[in-house]
Structure 1
């Protein structure tokens, strides 16, 4: 779990980053083995979730996210790190060092599963984009009720994280909808929003549709258009 970037600072270059929360295995209770397997008892930030999804878009490697490429001192010099008064590095900027999480073959297998999520029979068919192959995963989380001391049965967070094109990823997007009014399923609420964002992004980047798309209809359309 930690190797995927959860429970630690992403070091994206901004101050006060959320580290989330991951219970040490030494403190796990019997029920934690079950609940943690599907995401309860873990707190993650959106940036951490995107970084974890990117492991399967980067052949099994965790790629450190960065928002700030570099800082500039009063003399105009570019800085890749800033030290505090004690001489310790307090901030790092730019792309960090990649680290392996799973073998490439495992990442490829999971990527195929993520692609199936957006295809016929999957839970996020509404994330499918005609002419492109999309990989992703839905999320439906119960909100923890502090007053009751348990997870709510009526308040949810619906989410979807994915990347496209699946064979050569260009963009990864996470959509989170807190307390949706209608359905609370990520594939119903968040996936359509993901589709609109990624569809426009691919068009903006001039990424044309190709035959690896989500259906036979897609392949036929691309072949017809190419004639």
Structure 2
């Protein structure tokens, strides 16, 4: 239950100013995620040594190819901690000064759906040779493995207890008072996180104040995840907040997916949190 002071909406690092969409005072980690405070996220990130923080970023799959089998996979871009300024360290903590692909983002979110483990994404389960034999790998003329198929090796990122705690925090994001109430689905627990990113303006050499990317990534049912979806809307017109623009699209996709998969609402073992979510969603 450690608390963080969110500086009432504005936090200065050198000549740089970090802002929240609305002012916040003292908040717990759960509240920081629920209210999506850039300032407190920056403070939490800055509390870790750069090399340690960078290590966790890489563990979550950023800055490297997922090797899913998709052509032209993006590596993304993570600045070496040797080159970090304090403002870089702070910005990366809430999602700026770093480039990630949609697949990397989904894979990272899945760490909290998979008990703290990073699970390699894949497209092809296996291939079948001319004799009808299923192959999990293909070797080149020199006998070296050139392609692998199916699920790869899972790698631990955080302890299962930590993943479970963060999952509960992510559920609260879609409940009353969270930034993604519009992602709530009647009868199911939904866990996720909103994103509102400024687009970097190459000509001005800074982040734009008028162009944004609104996003939401989440999974459901949160107690026994079946599907993870990332919705990204570039330069939305009516609002630039992920909870307003992307979350309702997520809800529509996931709600239909759960119905298609015959996943019944209120699965056994639901907590009071689910009831609170349903009440919020029905308002």
CA distance in 1, matches of 2:92, 2:214: 18
Aligned residue for 1:154, secondary structure, equals strand
CA distance in 2, matches of 1:74, 1:62: 34
Change over 3 Å in CA distance of 1:219–1:88 after alignment to 2: same
5+ long unaligned stretches in structure 1: none
CA distance in 2, matches of 1:30, 1:216: 41
CA distance in 2, matches of 1:221, 1:121: 11
Aligned residues: 227
Aligned residue for 1:188, secondary structure, equals helix
CA distance in 2, matches of 1:219, 1:137: 20
Q: Report what 1:158 is aligned to.
A: 214
Deviation at 1:80, TM superposition (A): 2.5
CA distance in 1, matches of 2:282, 2:90: 50
Deviation at 1:145, TM superposition (A): 1.1
Change over 3 Å in CA distance of 1:80–1:184 after alignment to 2: same
Per-residue CA deviations over 1:145-193 (Å, capped at 9, x if unaligned) read: 1121211111111000000111111111100001101100000000000
CA distance in 2, matches of 1:226, 1:138: 21
Question: Whose helix fraction is larger, Structure 1's or Structure 2's?
Answer: 2
Change over 3 Å in CA distance of 1:32–1:66 after alignment to 2: same
Change over 3 Å in CA distance of 1:17–1:218 after alignment to 2: closer
Per-residue CA deviations over 1:40-61 (Å, capped at 9, x if unaligned) read: 1111111110000000001101
Q: Is the 8 A contact 1:131 1:214 kept in 2?
A: no
TM normalised by structure 1 equals 0.89
Deviation at 1:86, TM superposition (A): 6.4
Deviation at 1:83, TM superposition (A): 4.6
CA distance in 2, matches of 1:24, 1:90: 29
CA distance in 1, matches of 2:233, 2:101: 14
Per-residue CA deviations over 1:79-98 (Å, capped at 9, x if unaligned) read: 32345566654432210010
Q: Which one of the candidate residues 48, 51, 72 is aligned to 2:104?
A: 48
